Structure 1
Amino acid sequence: MCLLVACAGPEPALSSETVGPRTAVLTDPDPEPITSSPAAQLPVTVRSFDGTDVTVTDTSRIVAADQYGTLTTTVYALGLGDNLVGRDSAAEFPAVADVVDVTPGGHSMSAEGILALDPTVVLTDTSIGPRAVQEQLRAAGIPVVYFDPSRTLDGVSAQIQAVADALGVSAEGESLAARTAEEIARARELAPRGENPVKIAFLYMRGPAIKMLAGPGSGADELVEALGAEDAGTAAGLTAQFVPVTSEALIAAGPDVILMMTGGLDSIGGVEGLEQIPGIAQTPAGRSQRIVDMADGVILSFGPNTGKVLDALARAVYEPAT
């Protein structure tokens, strides 16, 4: 099945001369299950990321919660969507809309709320908490499996496989990881090739008071690199994942494109509001209104939809207006 490009062959790389604001949108935000209702090989004992050996005997009622929606997306893509009874706020694709949100505040879980769902296994990581809640669930006898909280392109396949192994569907994990890697490779081919890559700044904002530039290790830097572009934060010498940025520093960074979460852009009144933020109008991106946004729960998830995310971003950044 050809998911991202025409079956006739590789699609030509796109142009780097676009202007104007764009929203990167997945054609189908629901992950495509690799199979339907796979038979889990249980019990299975796995080494949780926190170093604890956890035995999973039942996957009929799964709670998956992390900051990025990655674990819920992975469970669904493995074909176990019908087993999900709890998810995080970032997992907002239509297929799980009716699954209980166990992180209604966005970053914290309630032990009572999760226990009420009678889960047979909880998948989580340290990007969300409080840790005391996760430990309370373990104390109640529920298998709680932690996963690596880092989100990188190189880690996508390993993360998929780790989730599959914990749920007793290792073979499906191998197939899903291979498919995702192929989709990522295809999407990378869309990036223009040349000696002067565009410079993209990932700007995190929540209202006019919070303005942070992404740097190395943020995950945004890897997206930018995969798009054949230069990460403005890294080029500016940042050494942390997200750093509060002054107007002067943003101007000095000189991004050709500003990449944002849709929720962050909305929080300041859209593109018109962004232009009122000091320093934005003085950047090449501000002058050309070359602003690209993407849904908060999608852009940094680094899961089974990563190839689709890169494809949508590449088109939003490079594809000429029609």
Structure 2
Amino acid sequence: MTATLWASGCSTAPLDVGHATTAAVATGPRTATIPSADPIPVAESPTPRLPATVRTHDGHTVTVTDVSRIVALDRYGSYGTAVFALGLGRNLVGRDIATKFPAAAAVPLMTPGGTDANVEAIIAQRPTVVLTDASLPNAAVLERQLTSTGILVVVGDADRTVAGTDALLRFTAAALGVPGPGDQLTHRVDTQLADAKRAIPPDADRPRIAFVYARGTGLLILGGPGSGADSLIDAIGGRDAGTAAGLTDAFTSLTSEGLIKAAPDVLLMMSDGLASVGGVDGLLKVPGVAETPAGRNRRVIDMDDGELLSFGARTGDVAMALSRALYGPR
């Protein structure tokens, strides 16, 4: 199934040419959006085939016998989103802060500080299985404390890339005993990613796109290789500006010199992050931004914090929305 996607605020106009920009790329600020705030289930209340045995990323073999009370926790909201997309949203009794779509709003939050999970709060939910990975800072302590109380913990791979999406979804589906819906979900995402590839204009060069994470002007980070955003940028026909500029770390503190050297044609940000620096006007006051091709043309794409790097059930939706925002309606 392929969803219809759109982006608000798109326009096309002659551009100040940067490293690899053409008139095929839209100009001005845009917000990339997907049509459904909630992940669309591929099945309604599927019957899990249990017990389900899986090999976890930390090298253990675990057998899941009950998925009636699921806690899903990672930095990106990947597992919580997948649980809903697989049709098991009613079974979710605990979530991370990145699982923030409307259908999950009533599910108790287990990471009140943003990333560290509250062990006592998790135990209080009496989960039958906890899905998590090393993307949480206290992941090792969390697993040890939960398993000591008899709670089953399933540890997945913490890496997040477009290429790893199918494996993440199949692993989650297998652990929850719903491999059939897992196959349906991966097929849907793969179809959407293929659609996003086809949406790249044939005459477009590869614009340099810089992912900037912000929480006020005091915390500005430039994405590089392994940030996750780099794989999304590649999926929509762009080049990751941080990687092209020679960054070796996934995230590096943003400096005016580093940003000017990266010379992005487009800046990609989370919506809350953009708002935290005062929107596009405030962003242009950050040293170095106005001196980039992106700044000169106000080419800033923002997307909801809970969607942009969620990776998994909505990766295809995200890629298509970003493609529309980057190139404009086609």
Shorter-chain TM range is: over 0.9
2:212 is the alignment partner of 1:213: no
How many residues in Structure 1 have an aligned counterpart in Structure 2? 313
Displacement of 1:133 in angstroms is 2.2
CA distance in 2, matches of 1:15, 1:49: 45
CA distance in 2, matches of 1:166, 1:44: 6
TM-score for both structures, normalised by structure 1 = 0.93
Q: More displaced, 192-201 or 138-147?
A: 192-201
Q: Which amino acid aligns with 1:267?
A: S
Among residues 269, 277, 291, which one is paired with 1:268 in the alignment?
A: 277
Q: Which amino acid aligns with 2:184?
A: S
2:155 is the alignment partner of 1:146: yes
CA distance in 1, matches of 2:137, 2:123: 15
SS in 2 for 1:293: strand
Displacement of 1:253 in angstroms is 1.4
Identical positions, percent: 51
SS in 1 for 2:66: coil
Displacement of 1:196 in angstroms is 2.6
Counterpart in 1 of 2:125?
117
Counterparts of 1:1-322 in structure 2, within 5 Å, are: 1-4=1-4, 16-130=24-138, 131-194=140-203, 196-319=205-328
**Residue deviations 1:49-87, cap 9 Å, x none?**
111121211000000000000000111111101100111
Q: Identify if the C-alpha distance between structure 1 residues 58 and 286 changes in structure 2 by more than 3 Å, giving closer, same or farther.
A: same
Deviating runs (4+, > 3 A) in structure 1?
A: none
- Asked if structure 2 preserves the Cα contact closer than 8 Å seen for 1:15 and 1:192, the reply is no
SS in 1 for 2:116: coil
- Asked if structure 1 preserves the Cα contact closer than 8 Å seen for 2:25 and 2:327, the reply is yes
CA distance in 2, matches of 1:194, 1:177: 30
Displacement of 1:192 in angstroms is 2.0
- Asked if structure 1 preserves the Cα contact closer than 8 Å seen for 2:224 and 2:243, the reply is yes
Q: Identify if the C-alpha distance between structure 1 residues 129 and 201 changes in structure 2 by more than 3 Å, giving closer, same or farther.
A: closer
SS in 2 for 1:213: strand
Q: More displaced, 145-154 or 179-188?
A: 179-188
- Asked if structure 2 preserves the Cα contact closer than 8 Å seen for 1:111 and 1:134, the reply is no
Q: Which amino acid aligns with 2:189?
A: T
SS in 1 for 2:126: coil
CA distance in 2, matches of 1:170, 1:320: 36
TM-score for both structures, normalised by structure 2 = 0.91
SS in 2 for 1:79: coil
CA distance in 2, matches of 1:2, 1:50: 34
**Residue deviations 1:193-223, cap 9 Å, x none?**
3363211111112211222211111111111
SS in 2 for 1:46: strand
List gaps (5 residues or longer) in structure 1: 6-13
Displacement of 1:231 in angstroms is 1.2
- Asked if structure 2 preserves the Cα contact closer than 8 Å seen for 1:92 and 1:297, the reply is yes
Displacement of 1:245 in angstroms is 2.8
**Residue deviations 1:291-311, cap 9 Å, x none?**
111111211111111111011
List gaps (5 residues or longer) in structure 2: 6-21
CA distance in 1, matches of 2:267, 2:151: 43
- Asked if structure 1 preserves the Cα contact closer than 8 Å seen for 2:72 and 2:130, the reply is yes
- Asked if structure 2 preserves the Cα contact closer than 8 Å seen for 1:62 and 1:86, the reply is yes
Q: Which amino acid aligns with 1:287?
A: R
- Asked if structure 1 preserves the Cα contact closer than 8 Å seen for 2:51 and 2:63, the reply is yes
Displacement of 1:129 in angstroms is 4.2
